[in-house]
Chain A
Amino acid sequence: MFTGSTDQARRAAKKELEAHLSRKFNDYFDEEIPTDDSVFVRDPPLLWRYFVLPRKEGEDEAMADSDYIVSQIMAVNTKIENAYVFSSGKNMGCFKGVGYPEEIGEYFMLDRLYRAHTWTVHGRFPTNTQAWWGGAHPFGLLDTTVVHNGEVSSYGTNRWYLEMYGYACTLQTDTEVIAYAADLLMRRQRLPIEIVAKILAPPIWAAIDRMDEKEKRLMTALRMTYGPLLMNGPFAVIIGETGRMVGLTDRIRLRPLTAATRGEIFYISSEEASIRLISPHLDRVWTPRGGEPVIAEMKGYEKGYEKGHEKGYERIC
């Protein structure tokens, strides 16, 4: 995405980005993201997509592709003025903008051009920043996306911890830290989602103190090690990944979250009304507890070590 108040500024950012890309990647295909210009949206930035393969040289050769791409995204977002990467998945696309959700959907022609097994949609009243195209949800990093309703009061703490691991928070909104925390814990540190949920929204000490020795040891170790990644303040988040969707609300449930199923389809939303709008008839509707993740996995995508139903977690397959 290239922002800037004039077309000239956007083109300059694009030129600079492409110079950077040509040094770090092999560009196979790029195009302007198709949009329906008959839909009125205010001040759209220049949106471009690049299909690239990493070209790692020198010290970078030892890096995993995913780490390399993440580091390049951070470099673009911090170093190139007016250029931001907001979608970086292999099989995942983020579309965002300033306007009503239906306008953005029509603008990107989502119904005509794209098909997917997992959709996450978010309409947002920007809590405490002025709306801008980069600040809209979802936040994506590689194949993980995060939408978030709420405000992270631990932002400053989460941020410094993530910065130690090379994440640069540049998009002026607190949701970014959740996306990066998910990336750090799930992709880089390979922690299972149930554990990650206990890091982001851990049980309270009074509950931990009542657990059996083994669980207590685990929860204590998690809080001790990952205290700076606790997400404080009200939130409901939906994390989307390849073949998987996770819903989580803060530990004292200051934001609502509702899950539902109908046949093979799984829904999760802040409010039941929005689920009913899409599917008036549901087989099952329930309210997950604060801090306990709802995990829905696509058939055929279950991750090896996470099979089986675990006490305390809702799992839909």
Chain B
Amino acid sequence: MRSFVFPEFEIIRDEERCGSCRGCERQCAFGTHTYDPVADRLVSDDHKCAGCQRCVIFCPQKAIVVRPSPSFYRPNASWTREKIEDLKRQAETGGVLLTGCGSDKPFRIYWDHILLNASQVTNPSIDPLREPMELRTFLGRKPEMLEISREGEEVEIKTELYPNLTVETPILFSAMSFGAISYNAFKSLATAACRSGTYFNTGEGGLPREMRGEFGRCAIVQVASGRFGIDAEYLNVAQAVEIKVGQGAKPGIGGHLPGEKVSAAVAETRMIPQGTDAISPAPHHDIYSIEDLSTLIYALKEATNYEKPISVKIAAVHNFAAIASGIVRAGADIIAIDGLRGGTGAAPKAIRDNVGIPTELAISSLDRRLREEGIRNQCSIIAAGGFRSSSDVIKAIALGADAVYIGSAALIAMGCTLCQKCYTGNCNWGICTQNPRLSGRLNVEIASQRLSNLISAWSHEIREMLGGMGINALESLRGNRDHLRGVGLYEWELDVLGIKGAGE
């Protein structure tokens, strides 16, 4: 059937500059560029282009420009080009539209409507280059109080402490499984996490055996509805275990790793036959109530000898704060909350762009709910879903998060351009693919350095902003909404965020 859809992008090649080296042809796994030996020139098929910019960056002659195609339908506020083309694609295929990455829809980005405070006169700002500026954070349940006994010089803590994760900066790598992303991308995250004093999350694809010894100390392992790759060693080499209930990009639905991406290594790690589809059901088939979740939490605590915090990751949906409160009472030490703009390797577009609530509002309402119930120190909150910069992170902390998960930001640091074609398995940047020719493009040494640099840069910026507010330890900003003001927000939004308007 002939497609009635315009190409999304237009490829412009400067024939003067092009040396017909065929580099672009090799770079593009979508087959956009082909060499015409008769004319001795390269031709490009706009229809195949994903807009990932790989060929543009790697063209030695800088001869290629890829830009949005200017074709248009008659302008119509309701029937936008995207709506028309999505509809045409469905008419041509009869299927669900798939996409990758977090939602690109213009829902209000609250980070851009929140401003930070700084000290003037009465409360001196602190220079992070001269004074200590502490970002160390503990994730897990805290005791109500410490009981201390003293005999002369000897001070003894009598209260039993709960296991906590220690991070040197409140930024962790979000769950991205081996299978969804390439081995090299996965290993880059692990390497960078260990080097930067933080943690990576294995996602639900297991932890390759050969990585367990070296990277277990900075791993959070996931137990998801597919239960892939789980054995006693997997749970015990890690520093924390996360039960994945939901994901911000696709709340309420499961995952599906197509058989083509289940290579020998992926199959071994996930403990499934090679080439079979890895399907994560929408719900856990042993969790149909909060009691069932509690059973799983305690089963994992038993399996890990009560030495590791157990996290439960849920998507931010309408009534999630009440649900999260129940999850804390069910025994979770950490609540990971994934908002509307959370990323994904593959999700139905209709779900990604229409289900859930923004992270900013979710953090605030969850923090408030737990405080009102007096159980805020029984768990930590890790927020996820669309963190783009250090200022987003610090605002999240002031709204009540203990730390954040970054996914898309980490991928971008490695080269991702958010082209949203992750689900095709043809990632030209070697990140979201199991094709050895493509994944080999990602150099673990370089990619992990880029990730560590990102963590370092953001941490420096957080210290600067913290010092500006006259605070020298991150724990003094946690839930400290006094340091935030809103601009251009409605009353109800300020109320949910728990902040005042600018100037108030």
A binding-site residues for B, Cβ under 8 Å: 127-128, 150-151, 153-158, 160-161, 163-165, 189, 191-192, 195, 204-206, 217-218, 221-228, 230, 232-234, 251-252, 254, 305-306, 308, 310-311
Contact = CB atoms under 8 A, between A and B. Distances in A.
Given A153-B469, A205-B132, A252-B132, 17 more contacts: A127-B123, A151-B470, A154-B480, A155-B480, A156-B481, A157-B479, A160-B376, A161-B376, A164-B374, A205-B134, A225-B161, A227-B473, A227-B478, A228-B478, A230-B476, A252-B131, A310-B153
A271 B317 CA distance: 55
Contacts of A206: 132
A234 B125 CA distance: 10
A225 B124 CA distance: 27
Contacts of B150: 192, 305-306
Interface stretch (B89-97, B136-144, B302-310): B136-144
B135 to A, nearest CB: 9
Nearest to B119: A153
Given A217-B157, A221-B161, A305-B150, A153 B123 contact: yes
A156 to B, nearest CB: 3
B164 interface: yes
Contact of B482 (A156, A217, A228): A156
Given A164-B371, A228-B475, A252-B131, A157 B146 contact: no
B126 interface: yes
Nearest to B402: A227
A227 B475 contact: yes
Contact of B123 (A157, A163, A225, A234): A234
28 contacts: A153-B471, A153-B476, A153-B483, A154-B471, A154-B477, A156-B479, A164-B374, A164-B377, A189-B145, A204-B132, A205-B134, A218-B157, A221-B146, A222-B146, A224-B142, A225-B142, A225-B143, A225-B146, A225-B161, A228-B475, A228-B478, A232-B473, A234-B123, A234-B124, A252-B126, A305-B150, A308-B152, A311-B153
Nearest to A305: B150
Q: Which of B119, B122, B469, B483 gathers most chain A CB within 10 Å? A: B122
Contacts of B148: 191-192, 195
A127 B121 CA distance: 10
B459 interface: no
A205 B136 contact: yes
B155 interface: yes
A138 B10 CA distance: 72
A155 B124 contact: no
Contacts of B164: 224
Using C-beta atoms within 8 Å of the partner chain, give the interface range for chain B. Answer: 35 or more
A233 B479 CA distance: 16
B472 interface: yes
Q: Which 4 A-B pairs have the closest CB atoms?
A: A154-B476, A156-B480, A227-B475, A232-B476
A230 B477 CA distance: 10
A227 B138 contact: yes
B482 A160 contact: no
Contacts, number: 111
Q: Which of A163, A225, A308 gathers most chain B CB within 10 Å? A: A225
Nearest to A306: B150
Q: Which of B152, B476, B478, B481 gathers most chain A CB within 10 Å? A: B476
B232 to A, nearest CB: 28
Nearest to B155: A218
A160 B119 contact: no
A151 B123 contact: yes
Contacts of B481: 156
Interface in B43-74: none
A153 B134 contact: no
Contact of B138 (A224, A251, A254, A306): A224
B155 A153 contact: no
Nearest to A250: B472
Contacts of B143: 225
Given A205-B132, A218-B155, A224-B164, A128 B475 contact: no
Contacts of B159: 221
A205 B152 CA distance: 26
Interface in B160-214: 161, 164
A244 to B, nearest CB: 16
Contacts of B161: 221, 224-225
Contacts of A233: 123, 470-471
B57 to A, nearest CB: 40
A224 B474 CA distance: 12
Nearest to A188: B145
Q: Which of A161, A192, A221, A305 gathers most chain B CB within 10 Å? A: A221
Nearest to A154: B476
Contacts of B371: 160, 163-164
A223 B148 CA distance: 14
Contacts of B155: 195, 218
A153 B470 contact: yes
A305 B152 CA distance: 8
A154 B480 CA distance: 7
B120 to A, nearest CB: 10
Interface in B80-131: 119, 122-124, 126, 131
Given A205-B132, A224-B161, A225-B145, A230 B479 contact: no
B352 to A, nearest CB: 34
Given A224-B161, A233-B471, A151 B122 contact: yes
A160 B372 CA distance: 9
Contacts of A223: 475
A153 B122 CA distance: 10
A158 B483 CA distance: 13
Interface in B442-472: 469-472
B76 to A, nearest CB: 48
A197 B136 CA distance: 20
Contacts of B482: 155-156
Q: Which of A164, A189, A217, A218 gathers most chain B CB within 10 Å? A: A164
A161 B475 CA distance: 12
Contact of A232 (B152, B376, B377, B470): B470
A216 to B, nearest CB: 12
A160 B475 CA distance: 12
A180 to B, nearest CB: 15
A38 B75 CA distance: 81
Given A224-B161, A230-B475, A232-B471, A156 B483 contact: yes
A146 B134 CA distance: 27
A131 to B, nearest CB: 14
Contacts of B152: 308
A254 B472 CA distance: 12
A181 to B, nearest CB: 12
Q: Which of B138, B153, B472 gathers most chain A CB within 10 Å? A: B472
Contacts of A234: 123-124, 470
A153 B470 CA distance: 6
A42 to B, nearest CB: 23
Contacts of B123: 127, 150-151, 153, 233-234
A12 to B, nearest CB: 30
Contacts of A254: 124
A214 to B, nearest CB: 8
A196 B150 CA distance: 14
Contact of B480 (A128, A157, A191, A306): A157
